[in-house]
Amino acid sequence: MTSTQAPATPERKFERSLLEAILEASPDGIFVVDDQGIILCHNQRLLEVFGIAPGAIAGGEDGDLAGLDDQNLLTQVLPLIHEPEPFLQRVMMLYADPLLEDHCELECRDGRTLERHSRALWGEDQCYVGRVWFFRDITARKRVEHALEQLAQHDPLTGAANRRHFFERAAEELARARRHGDALSLVMLDLDHFKRINDHWGHATGDRVLQAFAAGVRSLLRREDLFGRIGGEEFVVLLPATGLEGALPLAERLRRQTEGLDLEENGERVSVTTSAGVATLGAGDASTDALLQRADEALYAAKRAGRNRSFCQA
């Protein structure tokens, strides 16, 4: 811990020792300022959290920032924050109103996520005397949360959105299309004779086929498109701001991509094809189900016509 000097009475020595133990044992980077924004004390973890080298701040060459205006620290911190302007505005707001407390997450330019807490300090007469700030690196926790979210929303084998997540997102996209008067199309895909692949080659090969198919589909989609797995070998692609003139050619590209998959098992090529059904949002469609039903009808028309082809339903 670093801090301004205090009279060396036994009570002060004990208080200083206790404060030092608390600060330096904390996983948080902590610093305390007075009502004028002068740093009273801080721990070394503060510099570590922000990756600031000791001596990088003018006046604190020995790693001791006590006695410096916190603007010196702020000057070093701002370039590290992904969105510095909102960060600075919030800091100024907190200083301007001691009654405010803060608990938020900050994205850093290096990809890390920090958690920030701040609250005012009050004297015995309820007079504002300063503010304490806490910063903690929660990057590892956020990565775990993201991984769990991905598991909850995506099919673990293919990486496509799972059925529940797909329909949640599709409902949002349909509402957005209605609100803005945009087109919306859906492509339904079903791997032809997939049971034969499983029966002949085994389920491990079947899984490889599904993974290769899904990777091929994703390679042809835009960022805003939504790719989902809604059944064993049934997949669907939702295409925002896309009419039949864009959706049908895409379905053909997806079909050709699948037909061209280069998969082998024991030196023998595994033949893979897909049938596709395309539908676009109509004026009377109250939900995604109506769109999906028409795409499904087009898909089965393609299968009845011989498979490995694309049909559409307006």
pLDDT at residue number 268:
87
Whether 243 has a pLDDT exceeding 70, the answer reads yes
Q: What is the CA radius of gyration of the chain?
A: 30
- pLDDT > 70 in the chain, percent: 95
Residue 226, φ and ψ in degrees, nearest 5: -115, 120
Residue 83, φ and ψ in degrees, nearest 5: -125, 85
DSSP category for residue 160: P
Residue 69 CA to residue 247 CA, distance in Å, equals 60
Residue 66 CA to residue 86 CA, distance in Å, equals 26
Mean pLDDT of the chain: 91
- The string of pLDDT tens digits covering residues 128-167 is 999 999 999 999 999 999 888 888 899 999 999 999 999 9
Give the residue-averaged pLDDT of 178-203.
95
pLDDT at residue number 313:
79
264 is catalytic: no
Alpha-carbon distances, residue 259 vs 185, 187, 192, 216 (angstroms): 23, 17, 10, 10
Give the residue-averaged pLDDT of 193-205.
94
- Taking a C-beta distance cutoff of 8 angstroms, is the pair 190, 123 a contact? no
pLDDT at residue number 55:
79
| HSE-CB of 163 using CA atoms within 13 angstroms | 7
CB atoms within 10 A of CB 24: 12
- Taking a C-beta distance cutoff of 8 angstroms, is the pair 131, 116 a contact? no
Residue 226 CA to residue 288 CA, distance in Å, equals 13
Token pair of 61, please? 């060459």
Catalytic residue from among 168, 233, 264, 268:
233
CB atoms within 10 A of CB 102: 15
- The string of pLDDT tens digits covering residues 166-179 is 999 999 999 999 99
- Taking a C-beta distance cutoff of 8 angstroms, is the pair 219, 165 a contact? no
Whether 14 has a pLDDT exceeding 70, the answer reads no
Confidence of residue 53 (pLDDT cuts 50, 70, 90): confident
Lowest mean pLDDT of 1-15, 80-94, 168-182, 224-238, name the range.
1-15
Q: Which helix (H) or strand (E) holds 280?
A: strand 274-280
Extended beta strands in 138-260, E state? 184-191, 226-229, 234-240
Whether 4 has a pLDDT exceeding 60, the answer reads no
- Taking a C-beta distance cutoff of 8 angstroms, is the pair 157, 240 a contact? no
Whether 63 has a pLDDT exceeding 90, the answer reads no
Confidence of residue 88 (pLDDT cuts 50, 70, 90): very high
SS3 at position 39: strand
Residue 44 CA to residue 162 CA, distance in Å, equals 45
Global pTM? Answer: 0.66
Confidence of residue 3 (pLDDT cuts 50, 70, 90): very low
Whether 213 has a pLDDT exceeding 50, the answer reads yes
Q: Give 272's contacts (C-beta < 8 A, 6+ positions apart).
A: 191, 192, 197, 209, 212, 213, 258, 259, 261, 263
